[in-house]
Structure 1
Amino acid sequence: MKNTLTLRLAQLALLVAVFVLWHVLTTPGLVPPFLFADDRQAAFFFGEPVKIFGRIWAWFVTNADIYQHLGVTLLETVLAFGIGTVLGLACGMWLALSPLAAAICDPYIKALNSMPRVILAPIFAVWFGLGVASKVALGVTLVFFIVFFNVYQGVKEVSPIVLANARMLGASPRQLLRHVYLPSAMSWVFSSLHTSVGLAFVGAVVGEYLGSARGVGYLILQAEGAFDINTVMAGILVLTVFALLLDMLVGQVERRLMKWQPKSGETEKL
């Protein structure tokens, strides 16, 4: 408990130090003269933390006008994350257990994975319109392959000895799936989910950039057009915080479902 508290305090101290340094380097009169010819350039290019937090305060408290935009972005992100995860889990499990289907689909999966999927955003906008659906579709393509390849590899890594023993004990295909394949793939799945959280946000925000009238990405795009770096940075901070919150939620689910797995410290003691 004490070590955890010390760690959290150290992390908080590092965060505060970063913002203090940022404030010093972007405040006119405090900027070292050798960095910029004009001490106002730093604030123009990197924003000022005080004004950034002021914008966030106005969004959430004073004006309270971000909730509709944030709700849209979070809806797109959660839908993309959920659908991409389910599809990746199902397809990865299916192809890992079906060698013939995997061999047939292999070149097509590799081709789709090698495609820079962000370029699909305009196509999805044409297919699904400028609403939530096109952003979700883009996010799904980003999340799907991360989960798919991890699940596929996780199932392939099942111990042959465990598998043979389960079959010798008379386990049915359904029991093998539930008690052997899924537990083996779970650690791989959650590893991919932590990466997929950020990619789901990328899909939502990039889609909003290319065509939308709502969302945090739309607010950032509008601020960029007006060279309002403080609002841009405020939007980035808001997205980062909510991405971390979603990642923490995934971590909570992981700890609950992976109780059977020994922690690293426990493994060393054994």
Structure 2
Amino acid sequence: MNIETVVTPERDEAVAQVATAEKPARKKRGRKAWIQTSSRLGAVVLFLVLWSLAAGTLVDTFYLPEPTEVAGEIRDWIVDGSLWTNIMATMVPAAQGFLIGGISAIVLGYLFAMSKVVSMVLEPFVAAAYGIPVVALVPLLILWLGIGSSLAVGVSAIVVFFLIFYNVYFGIRDVKQEFIDQVRIAGASQWDLVTRVRIPSALVWVVASLKLAVPHALVGVVVAEFLTGSEGLGYMLSSNAAQFNAAGTFASVVVLAAISFALDRIVFLISRRALMWKEAAEH
């Protein structure tokens, strides 16, 4: 008798029971997602209605333009192509700053965590530098890097570096020595400890820090553009504000909010998958 002819019916019945049990849970998740989406859309609609009612009645349109005026500004930017040009002028330095700051933070964070001497001597200085507002460093960065995209990349890299550095540092130090000893007893090499224990442990912390690091990379570029830029979303914001163009200023903020929301959703999906991996590894 073939073993599969005996096992298959039982296995099929078990699979059917699991599938039946999962249907209510799947429906519940779908209903919850629909409620969340509907509630968020309702909040947006309510906000726009209140905004429309307040503009021109409670608040002068010089300070609070109509939502239609803001939408008109964004439409004009799309038509003349300036919106995409300025978005790219901001996103490219933000991506470059994120990569430079992130890679530097991972390398130095690992070095500090692995060397007690380096950590003991230099970590207080890193903490002191972390306490300095980035805006206060802009004049120094202008002296070193000049103005333009290089300044934006530098500001973004500094912001990202400190947000990721400490997550790598504490993530590697969070690995319990007892676990490392057990892996060594099992015959793991130093390379195995690095690639299969320390880095995966820190990776979860790094992914968690993306929630702050990714949008702050954008914030760093916008700050640099706001102060010295000649293009980009920060420049759009500052130039419209300087011209007392409330609709253009609000439109710049809306575009930045939309980009930040999109980045947040992307980071959320990445973070959720990483946390699921961690939870599965623990079980």
TM-score, length-scaled by structure 2 = 0.83
Cα deviation 1:112-150 (Å, max 9, x = unaligned): 111112221222223222221111001111110110011
CA distance in structure 2 between the aligned counterparts of 1:210 and 1:127, rounded to whole angstroms: 16
Report the Cα offset of residue 258 of structure 1. 4.8
* Matched AA of 2:171: G
Aligned length: 253
2:29 is equivalent to residue 19 of structure 1:
no
CA distance in structure 2 between the aligned counterparts of 1:23 and 1:262, rounded to whole angstroms: 46
Structure 1: gaps of 5 or more residues: 32-38
Q: Is the 8 A contact 1:122 1:210 kept in 2?
A: no
CA distance in structure 2 between the aligned counterparts of 1:260 and 1:107, rounded to whole angstroms: 33
* Matched AA of 2:32: N
2:121 is equivalent to residue 104 of structure 1:
yes
Residue 64 of structure 2 aligns with which residue? Answer: 46
Cα deviation 1:68-97 (Å, max 9, x = unaligned): 111110111111122211111111111111
Residue 160 of structure 1 aligns with which residue? Answer: 177
Report the Cα offset of residue 222 of structure 1. 0.8
Report matched runs for 1:211-222 at 5 Å: 211-222=228-239
Q: Is the 8 A contact 1:51 1:230 kept in 2?
A: yes
Report the Cα offset of residue 47 of structure 1. 2.9
CA distance in structure 2 between the aligned counterparts of 1:46 and 1:83, rounded to whole angstroms: 39
2:189 is equivalent to residue 172 of structure 1:
yes
Moved >4 Å (runs of 4+): 255-259
Deviates more, 1:248-257 or 1:203-212: 248-257
Cα deviation 1:2-28 (Å, max 9, x = unaligned): 221221111111122112111111133
* Matched AA of 2:74: I
Report the Cα offset of residue 256 of structure 1. 4.6
Residue 16 of structure 2 aligns with which residue? Answer: none
CA distance in structure 1 between the aligned counterparts of 2:180 and 2:136, rounded to whole angstroms: 42
Report matched runs for 1:246-257 at 5 Å: 246-257=263-274
2:147 partner SS = coil
CA distance in structure 1 between the aligned counterparts of 2:127 and 2:69, rounded to whole angstroms: 46
More helix by share: 2
Report the Cα offset of residue 216 of structure 1. 1.1
Cα deviation 1:28-85 (Å, max 9, x = unaligned): 3xx3xxxxxxx52xx222332111111111111x322222111110111111122211
Deviates more, 1:84-93 or 1:156-165: 156-165
Residue 279 of structure 2 aligns with which residue? Answer: 262
* Matched AA of 1:166: V
Report matched runs for 1:89-238 at 5 Å: 89-238=106-255
CA distance in structure 1 between the aligned counterparts of 2:95 and 2:82, rounded to whole angstroms: 21
Residue 35 of structure 1 aligns with which residue? Answer: none
